[in-house]
Amino acid sequence: MIAVRSLIPFIAVFAMGLSYRPGLAQQSGPISPADSSGVTIRLEPHEKQTHFELGDPIALDLVLTAKSSGYAVFMDSNGFNAPQDLVNVTPTDGWFRPRGHQYGGSPEDLGQGPVRIPVMLNRSIVFQRPGHYEITITTRRLLPSRTGAPGGCCRPVDWSETTNAVGVDILPRDEHEESVLVAQLSSLLEKKPETQLSDEWKKQHEPLLGELDNLLKNPPADPQRMMKLAGTLRAAEDAEFARIEKDRGARHETAVRLSYLQGDDAVRAKVRWILADKEDGSDDTGLVMVNGLAHSRNLQLQVQLLQAAWDDTGRVPTGVLQSALQQSKAFLQHETFEWYDSHGVMLRHPEVVEEYGRELGEIIATLPQRTGSNRQLTTYYLGTASGGLKPAEASRLRAEIVEEFAGMSPGMQNTLLGMRWKEICDSALPVPSEPLKSSCASTRPTASEAPIR
């Protein structure tokens, strides 16, 4: 069956003339990083809501209005990082800050009208008790305009603004009602997300697809009829993909809603979806759950469930699972899980790296208990995730990679060689057996590789 999108190379669109619009940075002189007086920043309730129950998504709006040109603002386009805003909460108890500051988003020029940016407080603050809280936000989103610069290229400047205070009331949540809500949200997530045109859609449009296919296979075709058919089918495809994208967005919001709930049923649901994550990019539900783990009230149960999954030799470990386990351990100790900035690169703190390596060592010790594809895929995971290993563990992992290499797919082999050439192929190490020996001889390490040890 022909795919309408494959016809695009046959359609040439000619546009004449170029529009010119001076960039904001060209309209004014340079802005001093210490001067943000040309922009007003206010904090307002999102959709006028100030009353929430424990476990609700809680958003407030940053409203930025430029009084003159020459400014840009970092938009919050990354759904997983904590925003580049420090959420300040009064009183100082009844809440917890699970994650430190991280960068995210891309700069966009401020125009004449106000820009409203919803800030999801749950991404950096966990409200643990009901009560009245006063919220201000210290933001570093504002920067001089750099019109024409690629999105996401620029770091915030070193000045900040603290907003006015907005009060929010956090109410208790009935445990039974939450259990019912967890079941409802989990049921909505059961339906697998669509990524391609459905069989039903293809059946519905089969006559037009067949006619277009025949026109292309039996020239000379009627160009006008062919273009009309292509246009009709392309419009139908676009509408269907728009529906799929809307459904994916609704699914994401459902997952977010579930991830912030705090009871034991919610804990079990979060762990379930983390373990179901295939890490193939088809669904972000597992990642969403990881970013809601700090909101779980029973962190001891959460760590127990995740540790049991990590220790299960019948399960291939994943990065999503290990990240969930690491973060939950930190939250159980009431510690903020944060990264630090080293010369423009966000890195994990040394104690986090040490724990990461210890966890990988636990998995290396289980390799003799694993067989078949489980052992192969576990070895591959260790090879791509390794870091902070002790020398003996690194040596043992290398021996496992040598043994399992032949059974891996070409993609897996190339990934390991690209990431770990030195640790696998270094001439100072024992010569590996075939086919790894030949693969090492035909490849060279990349500049981005990181050591296993």
| Residues 348-403 pLDDT 10s | 566 777 888 899 999 999 999 999 999 999 999 999 987 778 889 999 999 999 99
Provide the greatest CA pair distance for the chain: 77
Answer yes or no: are the C-beta atoms of 359 and 378 closer than 8 Å. Answer: no
Q: Cβ distance 136 to 164 under 8 Å?
A: yes
Give the residue-averaged pLDDT of 70-86: 71
pLDDT at 261: 98
| Packing angle of the helix pair 372-385, 410-425 (nearest 10 deg) | 60
Radius of gyration of the chain (CA): 27
Q: What is the pTM of this model?
A: 0.79
The residue count for the chain: 453
DSSP single-letter state for residue 389? -
Residue 267: which of 256, 255, 278, 259 has the closest Cα?
A: 259
* Axis-axis angle for helices 299-311, 350-365 (nearest 10): 40
Residue 62's nearest CA partner among 136, 122, 143, 169 is: 136
Return the closest-CA partner of residue 85 out of 93, 77, 76, 94. 76
What is the model's pLDDT at position 199? 76
Closest CA to 152 of 102, 86, 108, 100: 108
Q: Averaged over 62-74, what is the pLDDT?
A: 85
Q: Where are the beta strands (DSSP E) in 263-401?
A: 339-342, 345-348
Spell out the SS3 assignment of 101-125: CCCCCEEEECCCCCEEEEEEHHHCC
Can you name the CATH fold of 36-172? Immunoglobulin-like (2.60.40)
Which residue type sits at 362?
Answer: E
> Would you give the DSSP letter of residue 280?
S
Are 118 and 60 in contact, with CB atoms under 8 Å apart?
yes
Residue 407 CA to its chain's centroid (Å): 31
Mean residue pLDDT of the chain comes to: 81
DSSP state of 443: -
436 within 8 A of 423, measured Cβ to Cβ: no
Q: Examine the pLDDT at 156 and tell me if it is beyond 50.
A: no
> By percentage, how much of the chain surpasses pLDDT 70?
80
**Can you name the residues that pair with 131 across neighbouring β-strands?**
170
